[in-house]
Structure 1
Amino acid sequence: MLAETHPEDDLVALVGSRLCHDLISPLGAIGNGVELLTMTATTLSPELQLITESVAAANARIKFFRLAFGRAGEQRMGRPEVSGLMAELSQGSRVKISWEAEGDYSRQMVKIACLAVLCIEPALPRGGEIVVRRDPADGPGAWTVLGTTARIREEPELWANLDGTPSPVSPAQVQFALLPREAAAAGLTLAWKIDDTTAQITF
């Protein structure tokens, strides 16, 4: 029996969820196979080490994409769960991502924060750090996603999408088109600023 599709369903998010769901299972199987190989190997060869790290990175990225591009739903997520995923995502990456938002939040809010992380990430081409902060005691506009690096890549036309000024985006930049739409759906107002060493998005 086919699942009912409601008019309010976001087809982009549904496609994102489907792709991530279908990719997680085979990646998990590969990871299990690699784990068995490491258990039987007397020494961990450079090739096996590379495969192990690559599978772990791919798994973390798919889980992150599922949050950022998938259907939000009603599920709530706490700091330990999201922080753990950000730590996995940071392994072997030039960009360290830290989740410092206290409390638990709707998956919709986590999705918006993840899209903001994806917007800041390309502004740190030489690596750096992205920190997500939110205190439950704070009012509206309390979410801050801050990226720091030695030298920020400024792309003002691309970032103008967050102000509601559409400009063409590539597949690697689709988050700049999705973030303002998701924020508007949640009743949030985006603000951003960039200087030589920092890029910041608040909502």
Structure 2
Amino acid sequence: MTSAVDFASLLCSRLCHDLLSPVGALNNGIELMADEHDPDMRARVLELLSESATASANKLKFFRLAFGAAGGFGEAVDTREAKAAIEGLFRPESRIQVGWMVAEASLPKTAIKVLLNLALIAGDALVRGGRLDVGAEGGEIVVRAEGPRLVIDAELRTALLGETAPAALTPRAAAAWLVHSLVTEAGGQVMVDQPEPGVLLFGANLPMAGRTPL
């Protein structure tokens, strides 16, 4: 079994990989501003800087809730935080339309983390955009992705199902392994299905984490 330190390193590597692009764009924009004197070009660069800063902040907020200890010190997390995190990650320019079907005002932290990480994996699979529907009720979580081109690596599928040797894990599969670990600890199972072309379904049941503590 992979150690907690090794797994934390994988999650950190995944986070850094996703932040590299928007943070790099910020750095490039600042360098351009130093040499640019045309008012129209400076305005465009400032616009790009603003977009990159927003993207960086949204990714940090998402990963803080999906990987970290965000959401307060209690056992439950306000589902509005999860909704805002997903909508911030998949902004309009991502070409992914998000459908939110979670009626509960709060869910256990474990359920929130599973939901967010499944949404992350499903969103990554929508390489040409599409629709991402997220639903949860009690201890059941369902994430549905539909788009013109869906790609999910075998590495992610096997990690979700717990069929990957921990020593063979890579940063790319860290979120999938986190889902598997959390669901297994809750006494549940993860489901991955492609019922028809262009549709990908993820499911997770969490028997021991299905109810928000009173």
Shorter-chain TM-score above 0.5 = yes
Counterpart for residue 45 of structure 1: 43
TM-superposed deviation, 1:154:
4.3
Distance 1:67 1:13, change over 3 A: farther
- For the 8 Å contact 2:77–2:108, the answer to whether it is kept is yes
Counterpart for residue 101 of structure 1: 102
Counterpart for residue 164 of structure 2: 166
**Cα separation, 2, equivalents of 1:160 and 1:69:** 20
Letter in 2 for 1:97: V
Partner deviation per Cα, 1:125-180 (whole Å, 9 max, x = no partner): 111121111234xxx4x311111101222434531222221164432332122211
Counterpart for residue 134 of structure 1: 136
Secondary structure (helix, strand or coil) at the match of 2:94 reads: coil
Partner deviation per Cα, 1:94-140 (whole Å, 9 max, x = no partner): 3333432111112221111111112212221111121111234xxx4
TM-superposed deviation, 1:75:
4.3
- For the 8 Å contact 2:82–2:116, the answer to whether it is kept is no
Distance 1:186 1:74, change over 3 A: farther
Counterpart for residue 148 of structure 1: 146
Paired residues, number: 171
**Cα separation, 1, equivalents of 2:101 and 2:108:** 16
Give the percent of matched residue pairs that are identical in Structure 1 and Structure 2: 24
- For the 8 Å contact 1:115–1:175, the answer to whether it is kept is yes
Question: Does residue 116 of the first structure (1) align with residue 124 of the second (2)?
Answer: no
Identify which of 46, 61, 64 aligns with 2:62: 64
Instruction: Tell me the TM-score normalised to structure 1 length.
Output: 0.70
**Cα separation, 2, equivalents of 1:49 and 1:78:** 32
Counterpart for residue 82 of structure 2: 82
- For the 8 Å contact 1:162–1:179, the answer to whether it is kept is yes
**Cα separation, 2, equivalents of 1:13 and 1:74:** 22
**Cα separation, 2, equivalents of 1:166 and 1:154:** 15
- For the 8 Å contact 2:159–2:177, the answer to whether it is kept is yes
TM-superposed deviation, 1:53:
1.1
Distance 1:13 1:160, change over 3 A: closer
**Cα separation, 2, equivalents of 1:164 and 1:81:** 28
Higher mean C-alpha deviation, range 193-202 or range 74-83: 74-83
What RMSD over aligned residues (CA atoms) do the two structures have, in Å? 3.1
- For the 8 Å contact 1:83–1:100, the answer to whether it is kept is no
